Chain A
Amino acid sequence: MNYFWDLFLGGLTRGSIYALIALGYTMVYGILQLINFAHGEIYMIAAFTALIVASILTMQGLTGFSVLILAGVIAILYAAAYGFTVEKIAYKPLRQASRLSPLISAIGMSIFLQNYVMLAQTSDFLPFPNLLPQSEFLDSISAWIGPSDFIIIVTSSVVMIALSLLLKFTKMGRAMRATAQDREMAMLTGVSVNRIISRTFIIGSALAAIGGLLIASHVGRINFYIGFNAGIKAFTAAVLGGIGSIPGAMLGGLVLGLAESFGTGYISSDYESVFAFTILILILILKPDGILGRSSQQKV
């Protein structure tokens, strides 16, 4: 039973990170019907920014919680700025083009950012300091939940609840939902669609940055390629939950994380990805729009 609990927590931790990144995919898809392949790279850039800021702060003699907060805030801002810029450079000029063009542009952006970081930083793996704070409270619960697992699960739950509230109750959230439902109608009612799209990218990137910071701290190493693998898994999670649906992305991430964790724990880690994709295939066969996806009938 103890083992089950450990695997459950491990899956939940991994799933929360998938969910945080998947939200970025699903939000952008909801509004633009575009799969933003450069999203994984934003997550990687956030991890690098956090690493650089944290090293500078540690050299200045700061420690513990202040480093985490400062590095986190700067990484989030930096990643958000990247998300904003990527949209302006790679997607906005192609807004009226056929759907394939922005997709290719996204793949190009992804390759560009990966190689840019490889050349500007290094192609080696870098150690990532454990920024997650130590405290007596965390020590006291460490018998049944690892401190970093606890922080990751709590932080991502808080972030996801905040996002849901933002979308539900604020004016911006309403405008975003309206744009997702019908872009032209939203425009007619006075919503500035371009601004909403920019904000979507900013929010999505900030979520990815939080995910990147947490997971890099948890596993302790980064390189320029981490965005690719995380991006593919998170994209799978978004499709699994129903792309375009916010709760779907959260649920999809958790299902994927748990499937991988239990698959590894009870069967074999050789087939880790097989479990994840088997679930994806099964769900797409039974429910082609994903677990919580709306069936999107094309209006003629």
Chain B
Amino acid sequence: MNHANLFRWILCAIFFFAFIPFSFAQKADTIKIGIAGAHTGDLASYGLPTVRAAELIAGKVNAQGGILGRKVELLVEDEACKPELATNVATKLVSARAHAVIGHICSGATKAALGTYKDAGMIVISPSATSPELTYSGQYPNFHRTIAPDDAQARLVADFAVKNLELKKIAVIHDKGDYGKGFAEFAKKYLEESANTQVVLYEGITPGAMDYSAIVQKIRHVRADAVVYGGYHPEAASIVQLMRRRNMKTIFISDDGVKDQTFIKVAGPAAEGVYASGPMDTTNNPQAIAAINEHKKAYGTEPGAFYLNAYSAMLSVLNAIRQAKTTDSEAVLKALRAHVTDTPLGKIKYNNQGDAIGVGFSIYQVKNGVYVEMK
């Protein structure tokens, strides 16, 4: 290939790409909602339900003539839950002048992207990023979420242990991971706030180790009434089984990493009576039933993770635009905090930090091989 030929190709490429801004300009009268999250890679199952929720709502709204006379347009961008890709996606959405973003999915990627959105004054609502600092730090006034932060879970578990079960001596164990240790740290802090309760043991275990007999011996040695465990179900199943085989009656309380049917399958009879926190059961909410049926009708399957959270996020931002009668982000931000939206998660609005009010966790207990919500 000679130089003239190469030059021609480059010229073609320049002409080709030169048309893109023009095509954006033609659609200027739509309401653009960015959908950012993991749509490929091993965490795609967490991100794709959000895309589907947004598509279903956009389709419905557009069929009824849109909002403020403008159609809703989705800008779907994939970042595979990688922080470095998330910043690219954020830049892309900002330059495409999206009015709001539903996303991102993972806490790490969300945090990476938030700075870019903040500088552009763009509203972001995540259906799934649970890291407490995203809202508590106060750094990101543009950030909202329709899922409760991790520490809310720890607060609930600590209150349940102290007030409902009236436990005195508690061992807090975690798996040293970001999620498990984060939960355990908050749980320990909240448990220690109570005068009658004592944290007698606070330790990390190695996930995937061959056996956990030593830590179980230690739990028995400190005579703990209960174990609060932060982590996922494989290790929890092993610890519970070892405790029950040693005839220990120690109560076992854990987080939503354990509130999974696999835990009950693996731990078997030892799982009976175990408490775990998990997202509130909203399956009786008529809105939730309708949203799930919509998904089944359109895609033929049960919706995946965070579908209802994403559905609610999308509804609330569109409702805020409708109430504000403009897409100006200042006005929409005010509307998000002032107006209640009826969603599959219940009637929600956002507090000044950006957390949805009325969204939260419940305690579940294993009874006859299934998790039952405690009222």
Contact = CB atoms under 8 A, between A and B. Distances in A.
B238 A10 contact: no
A269 B210 contact: no
A219 B238 contact: yes
Given A221-B234, A221-B266, A260-B214, A269 B241 contact: no
B214 A229 contact: no
A182 interface: no
A14 B245 contact: no
B215 interface: yes
Given A6-B217, A124-B262, A221-B237, A229 B210 contact: yes
Contact of B241 (A7, A10, A221, A260): A221
Interface string B217-256: 1101100000000000110011001100110000000000
Interface string A65-103: 000000000000000000000000000000000000000
Interface string A243-263: 000000000000000001100
Given A125-B237, A220-B237, A221-B234, A17 B210 contact: yes
Contacts of A273: 206
A268 B201 CA distance: 10
A269 B203 contact: yes
Nearest to B205: A269
Q: Which of A6, A230, A233 neighbours the largest number of chain B CB atoms within 10 Å of its CB?
A: A6
A121 B245 CA distance: 27
Nearest to A264: B214
B203 A10 contact: no
A126 interface: yes
A26 interface: no
A49 B135 CA distance: 50
B27 interface: no
A268 B270 CA distance: 26
A139 to B, nearest CB: 11
B213 interface: yes
B115 interface: no
A25 to B, nearest CB: 15
A11 B210 CA distance: 12
A137 interface: no
Contacts of A125: 233-234, 237, 262, 266
Contacts of A260: 214
Contacts of B213: 10, 13-14, 149, 218, 261
Contacts of A277: none
Contacts of B214: 7, 10-11, 14, 260-261, 264-265, 269, 272
B29 interface: no
Given A268-B203, A272-B209, A223 B218 contact: no
Contacts of A225: 208
B211 A218 contact: yes
Contacts of A130: 245
Contacts of B176: 270
A169 interface: no
Interface in B154-195: 176
Nearest to A220: B241
Interface string A1-34: 0010011001101100100000000000000000
Chain B's interface: helix, strand, loop or mixed, by majority? Answer: helix
A221 B212 CA distance: 12
A270 to B, nearest CB: 4
A133 interface: no
A69 B205 CA distance: 33
A127 interface: yes
A288 B265 CA distance: 46
Nearest to A6: B217
B261 to A, nearest CB: 11
A200 interface: no
Given A125-B262, A220-B266, A230 B210 contact: yes
Interface in B254-306: 262, 265-268, 270
Q: Which of B203, B204, B208, B214 neighbours the largest number of chain A CB atoms within 10 Å of its CB?
A: B214
Contacts of A6: 217, 220-221
B267 A127 contact: yes
Contacts of B265: 127
Interface in A114-128: 124-127
A83 B278 CA distance: 45
A35 interface: no
Q: Which of A3, A17, A125, A265 neighbours the largest number of chain B CB atoms within 10 Å of its CB?
A: A125
Nearest to A17: B210
Nearest to B208: A229
Contacts of A127: 237, 265-268
Contacts of B210: 14, 17, 215, 219, 226, 229-230, 233
A229 B241 contact: no
A221 B235 CA distance: 9
A148 B241 CA distance: 13
Nearest to B216: A10
Nearest to A148: B245
A114 to B, nearest CB: 13
A146 interface: yes
Given A130-B245, A148-B245, A270-B204, A219 B217 contact: no
Contact of B217 (A3, A17, A268): A3
Nearest to B214: A264
Contact of B204 (A148, A230, A269): A269
**The 3 A-B residue pairs with the shortest CB-CB distance in the complex, in nearest-first order:** A264-B214, A220-B241, A10-B213
Given A219-B210, A264-B218, 5 more contacts: A6-B221, A7-B217, A219-B238, A220-B238, A221-B241
11 contacts: A3-B221, A13-B213, A125-B234, A149-B213, A219-B211, A219-B241, A220-B238, A221-B266, A270-B203, A270-B204, A272-B206
